[in-house]
Amino acid sequence: MTVNTIGDFHWMLNMFNAIDVGMVVIDSDYNIESWNGFMVHHSNIDGNDAKGKNLFSLFPSIDKNWFMRKVETVKTIENQTFITWEQKPYLFPFKHSRPITSTVEYMYQNITIIPLPSLTGKIDKISLIIYDVTDAAVNRIELQKLQAQLVS
């Protein structure tokens, strides 16, 4: 994919904001550079308000040491790393996307952490991709409960 014109940038931005997946860019000090519509809607924090804010001060519930270890590894290995809901149900404390018919309160999340090299090749930004996997997670948990019942 290439960006040649302002027009290309425009539709890409529309896609960035409309996709039902969270996208966040943070700098090396864990300050938020940018986040997309998914993050705006679920956190109710506007993109402009989030910009420049520290990730840990916006979301004090994030385990700082644990998360920094993950991100620093990404910078070192210069490759992506994954966190699944089975390790940690969620990184961002978002409500379930169906607040009324859901059986759980929070959104289960799979997270991908991606290194973003600058023009010089140095990793100075990190991207977080947040997938809402609540339905799959709830189904798995229910299934495991049933299996446990069958065995016992």
Partner 1 sequence: MTIPILICDDSSFARKQMARALPDNWDVSITYAQNGEEAIAAIKQGKADVLFLDLNMPVLDGYGTLEIIQSQDLPTLTIVVSGDIQPEAHHRVSAMGALDFIQKPTDKTKVCEVLTRYGIIRPEDLLQGQLLQESAAQLSSSKMNNKLRVTNDTGVNFDAYQEVSNVAMGRAGDLLARVLNVKVRLPIPKVNVLASSELHMILKATDDTHGISGVCQGFIGSGISGEALILFYDSCANELAKLMDYQGEVSDAVEREMLMDLSNILVGSFLKGFSDQLDLSFSHSHPEFLGLHRSISDLIHSDTRDWQEILSIEINYVIEEYDIECDLLILITQESLQVLNNKLIYLLDECI
CB of residue 44 to partner 1, shortest distance in Å: 5
Quick note: the x/- pattern for partner 1 over 47-86, rule CB under 8 A, is: ----------------------------------------
Among residues 105, 118, 121, 149, which is the contact residue for partner 1, using CB under 8 A?
105
CB of residue 37 to partner 1, shortest distance in Å: 6
* Cβ-proximal residues to 55 (8 Å cutoff; 6+ apart), any chain: 24, 26, 30, 31, 32, 62
Sign of CA dihedral 109, 75, 64, 67: positive
For residue 100, the number of C-alpha atoms closer than 13 Å in the C-beta half-sphere is 0
Specify whether the CB–CB gap between 70 and 82 falls below 8 A.
no
Locate 98 and state its tokens: 């169906």
Among residues 100, 148, 150, 151, which is the contact residue for partner 1, using CB under 8 A?
100
37 binds partner 1 (CB under 8 A): yes
Cα–Cα dist 67/43, whole Å: 19
42 binds partner 1 (CB under 8 A): yes
Interacting residues toward partner 1 by CB under 8 A: 20, 37-38, 40-42, 44, 95-103, 105, 132, 135
